[in-house]
Amino acid sequence: MIRLTGLSKRYGDRLALDDLTLDVRPGAVTGFLGPNGAGKSTTMRLILGLDRPTAGTALVGGVPYRRIKNPLRTVGALLDARALHPGRTGHAHLVALARSNGIPRRRVGEVLEAVGLAGAAHRRAGALSLGMSQRLGIAAALLGDPAVLLFDEPVNGLDPDGVRWVRGLMRSLAAEGRTVFVSSHLMSEMQLTADHLVVIGRGRLIADAPLAEVIAGSSLTAVVVRTPHARELAARLRAAGVAVTRSGENELVTTGAPVERVGDLAHEAGVRLHGLRVREASLEQAYHELTEGDVEYGAGRRGA
């Protein structure tokens, strides 16, 4: 498990991370979202001991990263797929990592096979495409068979088949009981991958909740009711504090109440229903609602 407590980081006058407290638990894919400049990369660097916090703590399995012996056996991470010597082959890169962390050499071949790079293992890193570099970075993260894994934008540069493969990999790692913490800007992909979401903006925590709960909390998530008694039911719902955002001859759209509550109110009113369903917002819509006041580097309107 990853535990952050009061974690803050200041670079000069800029507060990059502001009193961040959260747990990233095993057995789930935790998506890490936020606008550019929100503090996601800073958070991951602090977890991995690459930067020192101004205040607070970042613990992995109850200890700071710097105190972990043979860290690749405990934590695997991909922060920058290009952060390796361009003249070294992928195989040589992994062998060096294995030797420095007491990992058997045979494990190098296993992870290269697992990420689909066995046939390109002896190409120099500088000649690899971005997608292949991402696969090599994932291989390095898996090398020590760690219980905790961090990935920063792992699908950048991958083709659709590669994106699908990464999605399945993340979910399979979590199903094995590992802690999987994944940063991404691809909302549609995160909606298919994550079980839990952490959202930050301007260095502060905005949301820490299951994916379904984040989506359900969007004002665009609604309950759609089909009934020949739409007017009667609309009055009953409004009297109970349920917002009716659209009312047609045979259909109502409501917000602010779960589908079970809407169904119960219709039953209590003796109203016959022909349809009752949830119209979910997308994660992208829910995310934009959560972060609209925390976009630090938003583009201006065209022609403005």
Report the CATH number at residue 259. Answer: 3.30.70
Residues 123 and 236 in one domain: no
Integer Cα distance of 296 and 84 in angstroms? 31
Q: CA separation (Å) from 197 to 119, 173, 208, 215?
A: 36, 17, 6, 10
Integer Cα distance of 34 and 243 in angstroms? 30
Return phi, psi of residue 3, to 5°: -125, 120
Domain range holding 166? 2-211
Q: How confident is the model at residue 302 (pLDDT cuts 50, 70, 90)?
A: very low
Summary mean pLDDT of the chain: 92
* CB neighbourhood size of 80 (10 A): 12
- The stretches of the chain forming alpha helices (DSSP H) are 40-47, 90-100, 106-114, 130-142, 160-175, 187-193, 211-216, 230-239, 259-268, 283-291
- The stretches of 143-185 forming alpha helices (DSSP H) are 160-175
Q: State percent of the chain over pLDDT 70.
A: 96
Interval 106-120 mean pLDDT: 94
- Is the pLDDT at 212 greater than 50? The verdict is yes
Q: Using only C-alpha atoms, what is the Rg of the chain?
A: 24
Return phi, psi of residue 236, to 5°: -65, -40
Residues 37 and 178 in one domain: yes
Integer Cα distance of 52 and 44 in angstroms? 11
- Which of 7 and 249 is assigned the larger pLDDT? 7
Residues 24 and 131 in one domain: yes
Quote the pLDDT of residue 301: 46
Quote the pLDDT of residue 299: 52
Residues 160 and 246 in one domain: no
User: pTM for the whole thing?
Assistant: 0.86
Beta bridge partners of 7: 20
Quote the pLDDT of residue 298: 54
Domain with 182 in it: what CATH number?
3.40.50.300
Residues 28 and 168 in one domain: yes
Q: Which of 187, 211, 235 is the endpoint of a domain?
A: 211
Q: Helices then strands (H, E): number in the chain?
A: 10, 13
Quote the pLDDT of residue 169: 96
Q: State percent of the chain over pLDDT 90.
A: 81
Give tens-digit pLDDT for 84-108.
Answer: 888 999 999 999 999 999 999 999 9
Residues 226 and 203 in one domain: no
Integer Cα distance of 178 and 175 in angstroms? 7
Residues 133 and 27 in one domain: yes
User: Does residue 294 fall inside a structural domain?
Assistant: no
- Is the pLDDT at 300 greater than 80? The verdict is no
Residues 204 and 133 in one domain: yes
Coil, strand, or helix at residue 273? coil
User: Does residue 26 fall inside a structural domain?
Assistant: yes
Q: How confident is the model at residue 296 (pLDDT cuts 50, 70, 90)?
A: low
Count the domains in the chain: 2
Residues 175 and 84 in one domain: yes
Burial 55-69 (b: 16+ CB within 10 A, else e): ebebbbeeeebeebe
Give tens-digit pLDDT for 27-82.
Answer: 999 999 999 889 999 999 999 999 999 999 999 999 999 999 889 999 999 999 88
Residues 160 and 114 in one domain: yes
Q: How confident is the model at residue 304 (pLDDT cuts 50, 70, 90)?
A: very low
Residues 62 and 162 in one domain: yes
Interval 139-155 mean pLDDT: 96
Q: How many CA atoms lie within 13 A of 240 on its CB side?
A: 21
Q: CA separation (Å) from 236 to 7, 226, 249, 257?
A: 48, 15, 16, 13
Interval 142-156 mean pLDDT: 95
What burial class does residue 26 get, using C-beta atoms within 10 Å of its C-beta: 0-12 exposed, 13-18 middle, 19+ buried?
Answer: middle
Beta bridge partners of 76: 149
Residues 108 and 162 in one domain: yes
Single-letter amino acid, residue 166: V
